[in-house]
Amino acid sequence: MMKVLVVGANGQIGKHLVRFIQESDGMQARAMIRKQEQSSFFEDLGAETAVVDLEDDIPAIAKAADGVDAVVFTAGSGGHTGKDKTLMIDLDGAVKTIEAAKSAGVKRFIMISSFDTTRKAIQEANENFAPYVVAKHYADEWLRATNLDYTIIHPGLLTNDKGTGKVNAAAEVNRDEVPREDIASVIFASLENDKSIGKEFQVVKGNTDVKEAVDAI
């Protein structure tokens, strides 16, 4: 049974992912949440919970990762917070989670990034969006430099549309929308498929079954 720590579980992608994991036969979720009052959703699904704030220190996050087989980072500061929260969550929170996985002896790590985190994307971003792209750029760089079994997923413009179970995924795809539920499906398929280790790819809505799309990366 693969045990998966979902960081940012109370976000919309996180909630879908925990549900998929709990509905599966081969996985069990541990939802990392910021407040105890967020726990009932996950407990109703039969998932474990760990109450840890991403602004806590590395040992606190490592304790949440104790005994798991994989860590998924799907946390984000959100579009309505300032540059300071982007720095603390999307960069420092991500890096601390990577370091926590290492110290807890967890090799498998899946990062939900931004659609384009290249240097070019930073230069082209407007002043409000640029700090977010910078944070994601350096978090991705930090993960690539580790010896973790990582996968970096770059989703398109996230929507709350119902998932279709079909996507377009490749190293580079044209920018488009993608339902959050389908990104959760892509994460789940990546956890199931070791061929996704060491890969990073962009994902938007499309016509290819999620499992096939991940297998073809």
Residue 157 C-alpha from the chain's centroid? 15
Q: How many CB atoms lie within 10 A of CB 103?
A: 15
What backbone phi and psi angles, to 5 degrees, belong to 176?
A: -160, 180
Residue 216 C-alpha from the chain's centroid? 20
What residue has token string 């799309």? 213
CB 192 within 8 Å of CB 17: no
Among 132, 150, 188, 201, the one annotated catalytic: 132
Q: Using the 8-state DSSP alphabet, how is residue 24 labeled?
A: S
* Pairwise CA distance, residues 63 & 48, whole Å: 13
Beta bridge partners of 178: 158
Q: Is 132 a catalytic residue?
A: yes
CA dihedral 197, 145, 185, 173 (to 10 degrees): -90
CB 76 within 8 Å of CB 56: no
Cite the active site residues: 132
